Structures are given as C-alpha cells and as structure tokens.
Structure 1
Amino acid sequence: MNFIKYNLIGLINTLIHWSIYFYSLYELNFSSTISNVIGFLFAATGSYIFNSKFNYNQEINTIRYIKFLFIMSILAYTIALIFQSQELSHFIMLITYTLTSVILGFFLTKYWVFKK
C-alpha cells in the first residue's frame, strides 16, 4: 500500500515539479540543471510532508527531511546534469527523472529516510 500512496503523492508533486521546471527554463531562462533542482525542491518539500503524514504516519522531522532532500536532490541533479551535458531533450530528462524517482526514490525513502 505504501507504494501506491507514494505514487499518488508523487503524481501531484510531479505536476508541481514540471510546472516550476518549465517556468524556470523558459520564462526565467535558467539552465536545465538549475530549473530541475528548483522545481524539485518545491515538489520534494511537499512530497516529504505528505509522505510523512499520510504514507508513513511519522512526525515531520528535520533529520528525515534532510535525508529525503539529499537522496532526491542527488537523483534530480545527476540526471539533469547528464541530459544537459549531452544536450538531450528536456522533456525526456523529466520523464527519466520521474521514472527513476518512482522506483529508486521509493526504496531509498522507505528503507532509509522513514525506516523505523
């Protein structure tokens, strides 16, 4: 059940991430890497709060929040950097990040961030 809740929360946060990403990229003229990290930070904060409360039934905690941001930031930054260095599609980069964070992010958060 955690995986389903994780993905429902992730769907909302993906919309937030992508909206901020494209706004930062095309309206603010930031690089793909920076746009991805900014979009991610907004979405990840919401994701952490909702997963804490509704998925893992745990109180919001600074250490867990930092661990969550660390894991998800490394994923977001690494994927964006690879795609930017190869001049690949921004849209494909977002899809790749989304799929990676669904699988890797779930297991890393379940077994490290929210481990009881």
Structure 2
Amino acid sequence: MHRTPAFRGFSRFVSIGLLNTLIHWTVFFVLYGLLGLRQALSNLAAFCLAVTFSFYANARYTFQRRATLPRYLLFVTFMGALSFGVGYGADHWRLPGLLTLVVFSAISLVCGFLFSRFLVFREPEA
C-alpha cells in the first residue's frame, strides 16, 4: 500500500499562502488602521476576502481537486472561526494589530494546510 507524506504539496500551499497573506494584511490594515474597526471584525473581513482566493488556488494547484461549494463552506467555516478567535483574543488582551496578523498567519498556515489536506481536499478512498 502506497502512503503519501502528510506534507505533500506544502510548498505550493505556502506560495499561495504568501499571496493570501498579502491580501489579508492589506485589507486588515485598511479596515483596522484606516477605518478604525475592531480587530476581530477587521481580521474576519480580511480573511473572508483572502480565503476565497486561496481556496480556489489551492483546490486547483495544490490539491488538484474540484472547488465545490460544500468544500468551500467547510474550509471557510473552520478557518473563519479560527480567524475570529484570534482577533477576539487580541481584542481581549489589547494586542497590537501586527501581532494579531503574525499569530493568525502562523496558526492558519499549519492548521489550514492540515485541515485542507485531510478533510476538505482529502484523497478519495482506494
């Protein structure tokens, strides 16, 4: 029986993640830094825009799977809750916005990849 390594495709996921991060951080700083919204809402809104890009790019280039609505909703629900949770904690502890983004980016890179690989885009049973 042939087993694939758990982190196969991780380098592609990281490349797409860098673009995702650029989108996320830009939107976050506009909403939080320029418009004065709270971190939780700013982080969630920025995530929602960036996640759409990364979902479709990863479906096609990292996991070679169809981007379906159920997969999208599963991914967005999990990652959105993670995004909001990090922002909520940052608001509670009054952390700087940059730290919020760094923490969320690190957590979402690893958790997002594993969640995508083993649940959202899991390989079909043989």
Residue 28 of structure 1, CA deviation = 2.0
Residue 26 of structure 1, CA deviation = 2.1
Residue 65 of structure 1, CA deviation = 0.3
1: CA distance between counterparts of 2:31 and 2:51? 16
| Number of residue pairs the alignment of both structures matches | 116
2: CA distance between counterparts of 1:59 and 1:106? 17
2: CA distance between counterparts of 1:71 and 1:85? 21
Residue 27 of structure 1, CA deviation = 2.1
2: CA distance between counterparts of 1:102 and 1:30? 25
1: CA distance between counterparts of 2:122 and 2:66? 13
Superposed structure 1 runs of 4+ greater than 6 Å apart: none
Query: Is 1:86 the equivalent of 2:77?
Result: no
1: CA distance between counterparts of 2:41 and 2:100? 13
2: CA distance between counterparts of 1:93 and 1:28? 17
1: CA distance between counterparts of 2:66 and 2:109? 22
Q: What TM-score comes out, normalization by structure 1 length?
A: 0.96
Query: Is 1:40 the equivalent of 2:47?
Result: yes
Paired residue secondary structure (1:6): helix
Query: Is 1:29 the equivalent of 2:31?
Result: no
Amino acid at match of 1:26: G
Structure number with bigger Rg: 2
Query: Following superposition of structure 1 onto structure 2, how do residues 1-116 of structure 1 map, counting pairs within 5 Å?
Result: 1-116=8-123
User: Which has a greater percent of helix?
Assistant: 1
Q: What TM-score comes out, normalization by structure 2 length?
A: 0.89
User: Sequence identity of aligned pairs in percent?
Assistant: 27
Residue 100 of structure 1, CA deviation = 0.3
